[in-house]
Amino acid sequence: MKLVFATHNLNKLKEVKALLPKHIELLSLDDIGCTEEIPEEADTIEENAIGKANYVKNTYGYDCFADDTGLEVTALNGAPGVYSARYAGAEKSDLKNIEKLLNELDGKKDRSARFKTVIALNLENEKILFQGIAEGTIVETPRGDSGFGYDPVFKPSQYDQTFAELPLSEKNKISHRAKAMQQLIDYFK
């Protein structure tokens, strides 16, 4: 079975390929000739995921799933949330997003946060949503060289390491994306 994952992000693609059963041939946007950046203009993570999956299905005709992820920080009233990827502005720099986040948390005692991933599946025009949550805290200084996005500052609950310090195999057991992906995988069983 061929299925498109609506992403240009090679890190996400690598994580997801490691999770999917072998009978699913995962294609990226680049594999189907989609070079444009699919807009994320919705007000919620759910709507962004649905919009991307529908765009691929309607424009390219492929069955598709798309995800959207947000980091929700308690002391910031859920920000950056749906704006996580572009939190520091249009440049979409992981480093600048982390810098802004840490500056806004400076002096705050409550550093609790959660990652939320929503996957929208558009398969033979059936549309289904899957959601995964990873609870944790924001550390004061980035740590680790693995991962991407906010991984160097997000320490999952019951771990001493950030996502960026954990091996991918361990992160894939507990991450928000892994939890949502497991629901998608279970759907295909």
Domain segments of the chain as ranges: 2-188
- Of the candidate CATH numbers 3.90.950.10, 1.20.80.10, 3.40.190.290, 3.10.129.10, the domain formed by 2-188 belongs to 3.90.950.10
pLDDT tens per residue, range 54-111: 999 999 999 999 999 999 999 999 999 999 988 998 777 899 999 999 999 999 999 9
Per the CB < 8 A criterion, the answer to whether 180 and 130 are in contact is yes
Instruction: Give the burial string for 21-39 (b: 16+ CB within 10 Å, else e).
Output: eeeeebbbbeebebeeebe
Closest CA to 15 of 143, 115, 101: 115
Residue 44 has pLDDT above 90, yes or no: yes
Instruction: Give the burial string for 77-86 (b: 16+ CB within 10 Å, else e).
Output: eebbbbebbe
Q: What is the pTM of this model?
A: 0.88
Residue 32 has pLDDT above 80, yes or no: yes
User: First and final CA of the chain: distance in angstroms?
Assistant: 13
Per the CB < 8 A criterion, the answer to whether 111 and 61 are in contact is no
Report, as residue numbers or ranges, the catalytic residues. Answer: 68
Q: Which amino acid is at 167?
A: P
